[in-house]
Chains A and B, each alone.
Chain A
Amino acid sequence: QSVLTQPPSVSGAPGQRVTISCTGSSSNIGAGYDVHWYQQLPGTAPKLLIYGNSNRPSGVPDRFSGSKSGTSASLAISGLQAEDEADYYCQSYDSSLSGYVFGTGTKVTVL
């Protein structure tokens, strides 16, 4: 049972903007720990999409952006494309568990 909650699914038409929320608590996101985001295409390993709340690794399109506020974080995908159809996970550190935690995951569908 994950301590970071995400919506099970979000969808949008090509070109639209979608956002994925990641809700935590005072022992993880609210405690100031960074939030990172991963994209997992079907049958492949996760890929780092956003690190340190809002930073993109080299090669990640600027259509992907991250933000954090209070006990929550968000991933936004603008200009949605068919290739963005994947599962997305947030990740942070939890001081109560003394370890890293992942979100429940969100499936993005491009209509």
Chain B
Amino acid sequence: QVQLVQSGAEVKKPGASVKVSCKVSGYTLTELSMHWVRQAPGKGLEWMGGFDPEDGETIYAQKFQGRVTMTEDTSTDTAYMELSSLRSEDTAVYYCATRPSWNDAFDIWGQGTMVTVSS
């Protein structure tokens, strides 16, 4: 059974960067396609990007290209999402979620990490 455990809440100033981690247990990271989804307070879900097993590359939503970087440390089975040039609109809960190889639904989710951007 795959479990995803994310790092704790963060408070950042505008213009700073944040790096959120997602630790995998029950499987190895290389067996999974990891994605990141965020949810602003009181708002809907927004896909940010993730690993595309068909192409073998990480793909990013157009909205975040140039500002987000998703990486993986296979030695610790931990995925990371770093968002730079933070602004108040980036205040949200950030989720990691896995996508199985046979469909493109997100079947396992982390508990979420609250990132607050405030001066």
Residue ranges of A at the interface with B (Cβ–Cβ < 8 Å): 2, 33-34, 36, 38, 40, 45-48, 51-52, 57, 89, 91, 93, 97-105
Contact = CB atoms under 8 A, between A and B. Distances in A.
Contact of A46 (B45, B49, B61, B103): B45
B44 A103 contact: yes
Contacts of A47: 109
Given A100-B47, A102-B45, 5 more contacts: A45-B110, A46-B45, A48-B105, A48-B107, A52-B105
Contacts of A93: 104
Contacts of B104: 33-34, 36, 93, 100
Interface of B: 35, 37, 44-47, 49, 59-62, 95, 97, 103-107, 109-112
Query: Secondary structure of the A side of the interface?
Result: strand
Contact of B61 (A40, A52, A57, A99): A99
B105 A45 contact: no
A46 B95 contact: yes
